[in-house]
Amino acid sequence: MARAENTELIDRFEQFYRNYYRNEIGELAQSYPNEKRSLYINWNDLYQYDADIADDYLAQPQQLQEYAEEALRLYDLPVDVSLGQAHVRLQNLPEHTDIRAIRARHVNTMVSVQGIIRKATGVRPKIQEAAFECQRCGTLTYIPQSGGDFQEPHECQGCERQGPFRINFDQSEFIDSQKLRVQESPEGLRGGETPQSIDVHIEDDITGHVSPGDHVTVTGVLHLEQQGSGQEKSAVFDVYMEGVSVEIEDEEFEDMDITDEDKEQIIELSNEGNIYEQMVDSIAPAIYGYDQEKLAMILQLFSGVTKHLPDGSRIRGDLHMLLIGDPGTGKSQMLSYIQHIAPRSVYTSGKGSSSAGLTAAAVRDDFGDGQQWTLEAGALVLADKGIAAVDELDKMSPEDRSAMHEGLEQQKISVSKAGINATLKSRCSLLGAANPKYGRFDQYESIGEQINLEPALISRFDLIFTVTDKPDPDHDSQLAEHILQTNFAGELNTQRTEINAPNITEEQVNSQTEEVAPAIDAELLRKYIAYAKSNVYPTMTEEAREAIRDFYVDLRSKGTDEDAPIPVTARKLEALVRLAEASARVRLSDTVERKDADRVIEIVRSCLQDIGVD
Ligand code: ADP
Ligand code: MG
């Protein structure tokens, strides 16, 4: 761009600041450089002022950022300070780019993405300008360090020899830097897609403010980085982002658009007499039976009410449940179905696919260049405010096992290792599946003894279902019929859609599928749950309270054997309350009634009976 044009643009920015950001710049000048070092600009303001400049800012961000920052330095301040190193940080871009949609054409432009922080390194000083002191003559040679590789001087500026040099730290300039990995939010993914992520490099005042598990909107400029190094350099490049601003989002179900029509439909549905049956029939319809397990999964989706006590402590409203049983009984199928209906969920295996496992970990890997420690969020943190479906829970690592205790009850996970001290939120419900101790239940040993988890962990589950696979002619024939029917419907549908079989109509498929279609459409159910969770906070009626109290006292009088694998503790009482609240929420009811209490007592009783308590 021509020189005249530069000054013109800088003038335009100065005028923009005077019109729109006079107060903000005044405040910045007051607290610069200790508390504030950035001027945040709303893209909409810039667009209103000058649409061309606003568009150019996104298309040629580096150039425009320079003008914007130069204008800030030239700005006439009422107080006598210089905003020499202040940053201009653009926010609130007109649209969000999906992480998985980032392509070569986006490189060198400014975009904003939404997601969850998966990994974050510690905040480390990064050299910006290195002062090399010549060991022969003592002259300082200053080399700016802008790229990724460390640049050394070719020769000393004083004696023109090749050193040797020593870095003079006092005369060098450092800036705080941090690297983040932002991954697509669980709620943005449909049906178990593998989440994609992008790495973000940030500097100075915006470092150190986010933790793994935080939901964020990140705005920044996309750059390329060549894969491999030295002789191994590849023709393929990685895209990373130079972050300009990182905003923490409210973790509620922000993506859920519930229209007035949806709301009407939800309320109408909630008044139907058979709403519980409809809900049950909407969970994994291809899996035959398991009505009680499915009802429990529904209650888990709705969850109880989290209580904040006056003394600052809290009682979780989230329900944890475990399916433990013989192989091939449909556990994995039911677990993975959760992804279709939970507004936010993470599905994983206890064996763990990432180094962070189920909870969180401080790891030293390529992300921190092999030297820095990185804090990485595991499934329970990524599922914050949602459901973590963990298959093969019995195979989790020993580290996860111990971190899990805190994660499930206090709903936070503390990591303290290698100078990283952090507490991550894990306000999620755990839906676990596991096999018994010997792979399948041994009918000669009590079921309670065959659960391969320690008592402290077991006691944190609100419900434990045991599933045995015993031959039973009646049940087996119905199950067979159901599976064959499901397969037949699937075959018809495949023929119709894949090979366009002319003699198969959609009606024909539908009539066959009816039995295996969910009663409530998954999309609507997801909205229903999100609506109930953010609008309905039921309280106990006296009758419900009485029923739960009586049941609990009765249980304790029978099952307080200290050696019992599943002792009945006060946790069970809290579990009953949570379950009953969830039951009321299904009806969108503000009160927990006797029938809610009875419904959940029935479930708890049968679970305990199966394990051998009672
Ligand atoms: P698990 O995780 O308990 O070992 P899976 O969920 O992998 O079992 O199920 C194995 C297979 O058996 C799946 O294809 C599943 O659909 C089928 N199956 C098991 N139980 C049922 C059931 N009750 N109804 C329908 N299909 C079932
Ligand atoms: Mg399985």
Give pLDDT tens digits for 46-87.
999 999 999 999 999 999 999 999 999 998 887 777 888 899
Which pairing describes strands 197-203 and 173-183: parallel, antiparallel, or unpaired?
A: antiparallel
Alpha-helical regions (H) of 536-569: 542-558
pLDDT of residue 179 exceeding 80? yes
Task: Give helix 570-586 / helix 542-558 axis angle, nearest 10°.
Answer: 140
Ramachandran region of residue 163, left (φ > 0), alpha (ψ -120 to 50) or beta?
Answer: left
Q: Render pLDDT for 323-335 as a digit per residue (tens, 0 to 9).
A: 999 999 999 999 9
Q: Identify residue 419 by its one-letter amino acid code.
A: G
Q: Which of 483, 485, 486, 516 to mutate to test the pocket of ligand 1 (most atoms within 8 A of CB)?
A: 483
Q: How far, in Å, from the CA of 331 to the mean position of ligand 2? A: 6
Task: Indicate which atom in ligand 1 lies nearest the CA of residue 333.
Answer: 6
DSSP 285-315: TTS---HHHHHHHHHHHH----EE-TTS-EE
Region of 160 on the Ramachandran plot (φ > 0 left; ψ -120 to 50 alpha; else beta): left
Of the bound ligands, which one is closest to the alpha carbon of residue 395? 2
Alpha carbons 296 and 322: distance in angstroms, whole number:
10
**With contact defined as beta carbons under 8 Å apart, do 143 and 130 qualify?**
yes
Contact present, 113 and 246 (Cβ < 8 Å): no
Residue with tokens 């600009």: 41
Q: How far is it, in rounded angstroms, from Cα 497 to Cα 464?
A: 41
Are 134 and 161 contacting, i.e. CB atoms less than 8 angstroms apart? yes
The pLDDT mean for the chain works out to 87
Among 301, 309, 355, which Cα is nearest to 531's? 301
Q: Whose CA is nearest to atom 9 of ligand 1?
A: 330
Neighbours of 69 (CB within 10 A): 19
Q: How confident is the model at residue 95 (pLDDT cuts 50, 70, 90)?
A: very high
Both tokens assigned to 333: 């199928």
Peptide bond into 94 cis (omega under 30): no
The reported pLDDT for the residue numbered 112 is 96
Query: Per DSSP, what are the bridge partners of residue 219?
Result: 112, 245
Q: How far apart are CA 495 and CA 305, in angstroms?
A: 47
Express each pLDDT in 116-135 by its tens digit: 999 999 888 888 889 999 99
Closest-CA residue, ligand 1 atom 25, reads 287
Structure tokens at 357: 């496992």
Task: Answer yes or no: is the C-beta of 455 below 6 A from any ligand 1 atom.
Answer: no
Reported ipTM: the value is: 0.98
403 Cβ contact list (under 8 Å, min separation 6) = 358, 359, 360, 413
Please state whether beta strands 314-315 and 38-42 pair in parallel, antiparallel, or not at all (unpaired).
unpaired
Closest atom of ligand 1 to 323 CA is 3
pLDDT at 1: 47
CA distances from 413 to 39, 209, 396, 458, 476 (A): 34, 18, 16, 18, 43
Q: Do residues 132 and 143 touch, judged by C-beta distance below 8 A?
A: yes
Each residue's pLDDT tens digit, 463-494: 999 888 888 888 888 888 888 888 887 887 78
Nearest-Å Rg of the Cα atoms of the chain is 30
Q: Find out whether the beta carbon of 332 lies less than 6 Å from any atom of ligand 1.
A: yes
